[in-house]
Amino acid sequence: MGTSLGGTHRLHFTEVGPRDGLQNLDLDLQTETKLALVERLLDADIDLIEATSMVSPRWVPKMADAEQLLSALVAARGHGVLRRLRVLVPNQRGLERALATGAVHVVANIGATESFNHANLRQGVEETLVELARMAELARAQGCTFDVGISCSFGCPFEGRVAPDRVAELADRLADLGVSEIGIADTIGVADPRQVSSLIEHLARSGVGAEQLALHLHDTRGMGLANALAAYESGILRFEGSVGGIGGCPFAPRATGNVCSEDLLHMLVRVGAETDVDLEGLCQAATYLEEVLDRPLPGRLYRAGIWEGPSSPA
């Protein structure tokens, strides 16, 4: 065990609970509750927090308070807080809204398949690539980093298993656009550890190395942490997750959500990774969210507690 890479094993972790997690919950939260959650995540020293989405309120009413949430965060923490936040921008209009708030990190998505891209963005993949090129340029001109996640990198609810060649082709084209970080997303939670390792090797062979990739995993079928372990062993250091494992999957009504942030980071630290994230603080944020939502969350660690043992050297 332990990645075969030399040098540092320092993780870069992006918390997506306030966006992906809350978006897929069956209830809505008040803006002040979202604010309190993000504040707890900031206090836990998370590297980057995907705070909200500049999607049209007609599509996702839950994210209608995007600007309001960001200004509340700036009011509470000062302008510098924007360096620790990322905003999802589904299109050029969303990017313009994000830039107007002063955002310096944004992320967009593209579907690995035509069907998913049509369902999610109402356009073809080539059309999305053209728009992403324009968006990348606009973001760069404003000094804003531009990440892109490839949805359904392992499987698509409409087209089944996705060929690694397809993901590699898209990743290559995104790299050519100068994208900061390319997200490999298991949107519907169907990847297994072997597929994860194999896709990462495939991408490396076609020129997109592990250092440019982030893994976005869902725990839909319980393999989230095992997949993360396989990714880490393949050299991935950038991960996403949601506090408490909140969220869901629009294609599997009773399924659990994103891989749980604190469970994931706790495991990676145990196998040798380094992080500045305060795991205890992250567990407290999960406990807060459990109280707010009034239900146990899928995450394990915040309930069981970090174990050190009565006389453990650790």
Q: Which is nearer to a second copy, 193 or 281 (CB)?
A: 193
Q: Which residues 6+ apart lie within 8 Å of 65 measured at CB?
A: 31, 34, 52
Rounded Cα distance, 87 and 99, in Å:
10
Q: Which residues 6+ apart lie within 8 Å of 273 measured at CB?
A: 9, 10, 11, 232, 237
Q: Is 305 in the site for a second copy (CB under 8 A)?
A: yes
Indicate the residue type of 9: H
Q: Is 273 in the site for a second copy (CB under 8 A)?
A: no
Q: Taking the complex as a whole, how short is the minimal distance between the CB of residue 157 and a second copy, in angstroms? A: 7
Rounded Cα distance, 224 and 174, in Å:
25
Q: Taking the complex as a whole, how short is the minimal distance between the CB of residue 283 and a second copy, in angstroms? A: 11
Q: Taking the complex as a whole, how short is the minimal distance between the CB of residue 233 and a second copy, in angstroms? A: 9
Q: Is 63 in the site for a second copy (CB under 8 A)?
A: no
Q: Which member of 144, 249, 260, 283 is catalytic? A: 249
Cross-strand partners of 25: none
Say how many CA atoms lie within 13 Å of 281 toward its Cβ. Answer: 13
- Within residues 245-264, the interface with a second copy by CB under 8 A covers 249, 252, 254-256, 260, 263-264
Q: Which is nearer to a second copy, 116 or 146 (CB)?
A: 116
* Whether 46 contacts 84, CB under 8 Å: yes
Indicate the residue type of 268: L
Number of residues that bind a second copy (CB under 8 A): 57
Q: 28: helix, coil or strand?
A: coil
* Whether 199 contacts 153, CB under 8 Å: yes
Instruction: Determine which residue in the list 49, 229, 246, 289 makes contact with a second copy, applying CB under 8 A.
Output: 229
Nearest to 79 by CA among 103, 55, 115: 103
- Within residues 117-156, the interface with a second copy by CB under 8 A covers 155-156
Q: Is 24 in the site for a second copy (CB under 8 A)?
A: no
Q: List the structure tokens of 213.
A: 């990739």
Q: Which listed range, 43-51, 80-88, 116-124, 192-200, lies at the site for a second copy (CB under 8 A)?
A: 192-200
Count CB neighbours of 211 within 10 A: 13
The one-character DSSP state at 110 is E
Q: Which listed range, 22-30, 40-48, 95-103, 214-222, lies at the site for a second copy (CB under 8 A)?
A: 214-222
Q: Is 47 in the site for a second copy (CB under 8 A)?
A: no
Query: Catalytic site residue 156?
Result: no
Query: What residues make contact with a second copy under the rule CB under 8 A?
Result: 1-2, 155-161, 188-190, 192-195, 197-198, 219-223, 225-226, 228-230, 249, 252, 254-256, 260, 263-264, 266-267, 270-272, 296, 299-301, 303-314
